């Protein structure tokens, strides 16, 4: 499948945005388009050629080069550390083959202690690994490549990880990092307050004297500044409807400006 950028009026000047493999879901084309349109620094893609219509998305040489580049950037064991330090800074996340209770091999994300810490490695869900980094990449990219690599391997189970990736893509619960950064920037640069933003979102509270103010604790929890009740750390997630409410009403911007790709 080719994803092509064309002149809106003439439908000419065809530029190749992406070449997707035949087994990729059609939704990936929409994701590629959305990412392409959001990237203001994307420059111009090369023209579509006749070879693009009959060639494979990646040659074996290109795949090997991409894997080598990926290994150089993220390490062959895919050691990924959390963003916020603290407890997350003492562990790393790796995508690896793990033994199940019946001794079968399963492709899963696992949490490891750093520098030979005392804790044993623990299998975690894809969402936890993404939440620890507060970024979809490189976790999703590494996951898709690994699933493709082991797709035909009868000795490795990928069902659980594949299901986790599908649920993540369909879930309305999204990362709140960019929303939090935008809220804090609005406070610092434009003189807004958490209370004012909360009021704009319709989250108002009144004291015993009838004075009104914004429900700042609600906003701080939604954007990942304060932990939810009963939790020790702020959540990196927010419902997409709440993200849109805070963006449109609270900040006066499009939700797309605070969504992570």
Sign of the dihedral defined by the CA atoms of residues 150, 154, 160, 165, in that order: positive
Q: Which of 57, 77, 104 is the last residue of a domain?
A: 57
pTM over 0.75: no
Together in a domain, 72 and 132:
yes
Tokens at 250, concatenated? 């609270």
The half-sphere exposure of 234 on its side-chain side, counting CA atoms within 13 A, is: 20
Do residues 68 and 86 share a domain?
yes
Q: How far is CA 134 from the centre of its chain?
A: 7
Are 108 and 203 members of one domain?
A: no
Q: Could you list the residue range(s) of the whole structural domain that residue 223 is in?
A: 175-258
Pair 226, 143 in one domain: no
Residue where one domain finishes, among candidates 41, 57, 73: 57
CA 181/CA 258 separation, integer angstroms? 9
24-to-35, 120, 137, 178 alpha-carbon distances in Å: 17, 35, 18, 28
Say which DSSP state 58 is in: S
Count of domains forming the chain: 3
Q: How far apart are CA 62 and CA 150, in angstroms?
A: 18
- 106 and 159, same structural domain? yes
Task: Count Cβ atoms below 10 Å from residue 215 Cβ, excluding itself.
Answer: 17
**Nearest Cα to 195, choosing from 218, 229, 162?**
218
Residues 98 and 6 occupy one common structural domain:
no
**Looking at the structure, do residues 114 and 154 belong to the same domain, yes or no?**
yes
Q: What is the pLDDT of residue 73?
A: 46
Q: CA-to-CA distance for 111 and 98, rounded, in angstroms?
A: 12
* Rounded CA separation 58/21 (Å): 8
Same-domain pairing of 38 and 104: no
Question: Do 144 and 180 reside in the same domain of the chain?
Answer: no
Only one residue has tokens 């750390």, namely: 233
Per-residue confidence in pLDDT tens, the chain, 261 aa: 888 998 888 888 888 888 887 767 777 788 888 877 877 666 778 888 888 877 655 554 455 555 455 444 443 345 677 655 445 557 889 999 988 877 689 999 999 887 655 678 899 999 999 999 999 999 999 999 999 999 989 999 999 999 999 999 999 999 999 999 999 999 999 899 999 999 999 999 998 888 999 999 999 999 999 999 889 999 999 999 999 999 999 999 999 999 997
23 and 103 in a single domain? The answer is no
Q: Do 47 and 135 lie in a common domain?
A: no
Q: Among the three residues 171, 201, 232, which one is the final residue of a domain in this structure?
A: 171
Of 71, 91, 96, 73, nearest to 81 by C-alpha is 91
Same domain, 68 and 162: yes
């Amino acid at each position: 499948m080719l994803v092509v950028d064309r002149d809106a009026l003439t439908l000419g000047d065809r530029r190749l945005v992406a070449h997707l493999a035949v087994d990729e879901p059609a939704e990936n084309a929409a994701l590629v388009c959305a990412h392409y349109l959001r990237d203001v620094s994307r420059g111009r893609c090369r023209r579509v050629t006749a070879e693009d219509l009959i060639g494979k998305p990646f040659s074996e040489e290109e795949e090997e080069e991409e894997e080598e580049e990926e290994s150089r950037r993220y390490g062959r064991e895919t050691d990924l550390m959390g963003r916020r330090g603290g407890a997350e800074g003492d562990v790393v996340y790796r995508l690896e083959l793990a033994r199940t209770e019946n001794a079968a091999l399963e492709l899963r994300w696992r949490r490891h202690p750093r520098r030979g810490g005392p804790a044993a490695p623990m299998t975690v869900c894809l969402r936890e690994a993404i939440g620890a980094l507060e970024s979809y990449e490189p976790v999703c990219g590494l996951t898709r490549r690994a699933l493709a690599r082991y797709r035909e391997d009868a000795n490795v189970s990928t069902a659980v990880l594949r299901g986790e990736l599908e649920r993540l893509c369909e879930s309305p619960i999204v990362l709140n990092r960019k929303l939090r950064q935008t809220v804090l920037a609005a406070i610092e640069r434009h003189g807004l307050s958490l209370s004012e933003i909360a009021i704009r979102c319709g989250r108002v509270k009144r004291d015993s004297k009838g004075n009104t103010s914004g429900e700042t604790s609600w906003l701080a929890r939604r954007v990942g500044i304060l932990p939810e009740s009963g939790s020790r750390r702020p959540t990196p997630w927010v419902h997409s409807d709440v993200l849109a409410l805070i963006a449109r009403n609270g900040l006066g911007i499009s939700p797309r400006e605070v969504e992570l790709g």
